[in-house]
Chain A
């Protein structure tokens, strides 16, 4: 319990640091968002009155008259209350805008996690078991090669070949816009059809995880308790899964928590290229329009996601590794 509380304390601190960065960044950067907004307004022939400036300041939560620390605490207060500002691109609260895309991103990332981790973990266990064989060298080299292709390149090529050129997969949207969202087979199959290609790109990009599992597993297979298992006459399958894999999977769980940030970053690129309407694409639209509240809201949301993934991993590790439990008690 103390272990979990300690971790929780760290997460709260880390979140505060992220909020602080978010608060100070726009105030330290040379490009003041208010000034750039005013410049754009002036370019388009809009009139700038003192009222516009105060309105903008309250929109961005800036003020030249109140002291910095006071601004910081009111910023913190509004963040904790779920008021993340108004998007200047969509003219809606940032929380609503991000919430709209969150469903699709969670669908994409969630199905990616299930599919990819099942594939790479089982693949890694199996390949480590068959180490030194021809299949092993084929799979290891293949996964290194495939996963080192940059995400942008992989997504562009898949999109170009399968969606744009061959037309086997849709070129955008999360489901056929002619359909109404409903719990029917027609709708669900349309969603799955639109999900397939982005999902495939992400799974291919993460094939390198096979290597991590494989080297953990090989390290475990050299341990004495494996030999002991064989000597006792435990069946091969049992040694492989309950003796080797159970230990080899522990670093994978930690690595998973660390990689969640990277996974969401990957989904950002995938969503943009495949026109998949998740938060990544919304963030991209905001970025093009220099919608600072939205961009900052995205950073905060991503930090929250990574922190919660870490928390889940901590709990999972406690469940998987009895040694941690006794050490805590």
Chain B
């Protein structure tokens, strides 16, 4: 246990970016999912006069409707994060099924699946989502998650397909084939574990993308205006012209929440890349090496000069 804790500490000390990212993401998740512990107000209750300036009681002020902004932010985060996760899982599932089958089975399966991937990829996803959402007329957050999932899988599918192709021709796969392993075992136990880093980082980027897109769709007025999410908060702020009246807290609060969650996730993702790509990591070791060498050089130079000075004295 102690050893594990030590390893943990070492890891985060060596990866300050990962540490900051994890703290941001975990902090926001805790605030959102234990929201009732951090606020006395319900997000949809009218508890004060409209557009109250932030004070000790309402630390982020109130909205046009007299609702507490802080409680809206932390309650709203729940839905935003859930939508991100649901859409992320949906996208990863589609991308994995399409990508791995196209890459592993090859031939006609690959041709058909790649064609569909490429077609969905060139149809721009945000306009397509706007069309879908406007036909469905003010959709709930869950439907938004499904729409995001259905339009955004091709990129991941392409990455995973390329990775599968490169793994497929390695020796251990041929060895496993010769040993007569079943196809299911091949896919799940031989191919998939070798792309965990890629799967992880594309999952996180999908979650970021989904959270941003959900906020965008809702900001554009395609969400359900009665639900409390960060996107709907921005939409309501825009609708009640918070900018023009100077109610900065109403815009700033959801913006900061969205931005810090996205930045936290991006930092985590960045360090996954760094850990899984040895070339990106090597430069860090090289930099350390160079610094140490420079120090040594300096020490040697100093030693030589003192020696010379001593010789001069002698």
- CA of A37 to CA of B118 in the docked complex: distance in angstroms? 36
- From A13-21, A52-60, A88-96, A114-122, the one touching the partner chain is A13-21
Contact of B234 (CB < 8 Å), options: A132, A145, A156: A156
Contact of B126 (CB < 8 Å), options: A21, A222, A261, A290: A261
Does A152 belong to the interface (CB within 8 Å)?
yes
Q: Are B251's CB and A150's CB within 8 A?
A: no
Residues of chain B at interface, number, CB under 8 A: 56
Given A148-B263, A302-B124, A157:B134 Cβ within 8 A: no
Q: Are A141's CB and B17's CB within 8 A?
A: yes
For residue B214, which residue of chain A has the nearest CB? Answer: A150
Does A284 belong to the interface (CB within 8 Å)?
yes
- CA of A163 to CA of B150 in the docked complex: distance in angstroms? 37
Within 8 A of A (CB), among B115-173: 115, 118-119, 121-128, 130-132, 134-137, 155
B53 to chain A, nearest CB (A): 16
Given A132-B287, A222-B279, A261-B126, A160:B251 Cβ within 8 A: yes
Contact of A215 (CB < 8 Å), options: B118, B128, B277, B290: B277
Contact of B270 (CB < 8 Å), options: A144, A292, A303: A144
Residues of chain A at interface, number, CB under 8 A: 63
Contact of B244 (CB < 8 Å), options: A18, A153, A164: A164
Does B215 belong to the interface (CB within 8 Å)?
yes
A226 to chain B, nearest CB (A): 13
Contact of A287 (CB < 8 Å), options: B115, B220, B287: B220
Does A264 belong to the interface (CB within 8 Å)?
yes
Q: Are A265's CB and B127's CB within 8 A?
A: yes
- CA of A201 to CA of B243 in the docked complex: distance in angstroms? 18
Given A25-B135, A152-B219, A156-B255, A145:B263 Cβ within 8 A: yes
Does A105 belong to the interface (CB within 8 Å)?
no
Q: Are A132's CB and B290's CB within 8 A?
A: yes
Contact with A along B252-274 (1 / 0, CB 8 A): 10010011001101110010010
Q: Are B137's CB and A31's CB within 8 A?
A: yes
Contact with B along A153-170 (1 / 0, CB 8 A): 100110110001100000
Within 8 A of B (CB), among A128-144: 131-133, 140-141, 144
- CA of A21 to CA of B259 in the docked complex: distance in angstroms? 34
Chain B residues with CB under 8 Å of chain A are 17, 115, 118-119, 121-128, 130-132, 134-137, 155, 208, 211-212, 215-216, 219-222, 231, 234, 238, 243-244, 246, 248, 251-252, 255, 258-259, 262-263, 265-267, 270, 273, 277, 279-280, 283-284, 286-287, 290
Chain A residues with CB under 8 Å of chain B are 10-11, 13-14, 17-18, 21-22, 25-26, 29-31, 36, 131-133, 140-141, 144-145, 147-153, 156-157, 159-160, 164-165, 215, 218-219, 222, 258, 260-262, 264-265, 268-269, 272, 283-284, 287-288, 290, 292, 295-296, 298-299, 302-303, 305-307, 310
